[in-house]
Amino acid sequence: MRRRSLACIPVQDSAAGRQTADDSPQASAGTADGQAPARPRSPGAIDGVTGFMGMRWQDAQTVKLTIRPELINAGGLLSGVVTYALVDYCMGSTLWAQTSAEEAIATISISVNYIQTAVEGELVCRTTLDRRNRRTAVMRSEVHHEDGRLLVTAIGSYTIFPRRKGATGPVGPAS
């Protein structure tokens, strides 16, 4: 089975709805049909969610994120949605790198334990693939703050299934 690298995950060009292999920010002054300009995407973003949150891949098993004011909830703390998404995308990319071109993936379940929080700084999520067979995979992730504090632990399971004929782009985490 041929394994994939993260470099083969296309980036969605949200302004035109087409796939590109470019992982640089997409900037546009608007479209001919009058749609609003696309929000510039951070380098390495694979979709609008990862672009908005500012996720950056170090490798398939490691995703980083810098906490910004937009990611802080009404209680003044980092939103749990941010770390959940960080875990989901990191698990997805970890498994995606272990699939063939004929396989697609989707999240079945993720259980997250929020241990501590942060309001500024850099987060690093690392995922380990514990088991993969033909139809399922089980992974675990940890999110650490740049100061070394453990913020989140998680376990997740994903389904692996045949890619639909004619499907383009990745079918996987949060798709």
Could you tell me the residue ranges of all domains in the chain?
45-162
Segments of the chain with pLDDT less than 70? 1-44, 167-175
Which pair of structure tokens corresponds to residue 138? 């089980």
Asked if residues 158 and 106 have their Cβ atoms less than 8 Å apart, the reply is yes
DSSP state of 120: S
Which pair of structure tokens corresponds to residue 4? 């994939």
Q: Residue 153's pLDDT is what?
A: 98
The verdict on pTM exceeding 0.85 is: no
Asked if residues 172 and 150 have their Cβ atoms less than 8 Å apart, the reply is no
Question: Who contacts 134 (Cβ-Cβ below 8 Å, separation ≥6)?
Answer: 160
Q: pLDDT by residue (tens digit) across 8-45?
A: 443 333 333 333 333 333 333 344 444 444 444 455 67
Q: Residue 165's pLDDT is what?
A: 80
The residue count for the chain: 175
Task: Give the H/E segment covering residue 132.
Answer: strand 122-132
From first CA to last CA, the distance across the chain in angstroms is: 23
Residue type, 69: P
Q: Residue 46's pLDDT is what?
A: 85
Q: Residue 8's pLDDT is what?
A: 42
Which residue in 49, 51, 56, 11 sits closest to 169, CA to CA? 11
Class of domain 45-162: alpha beta
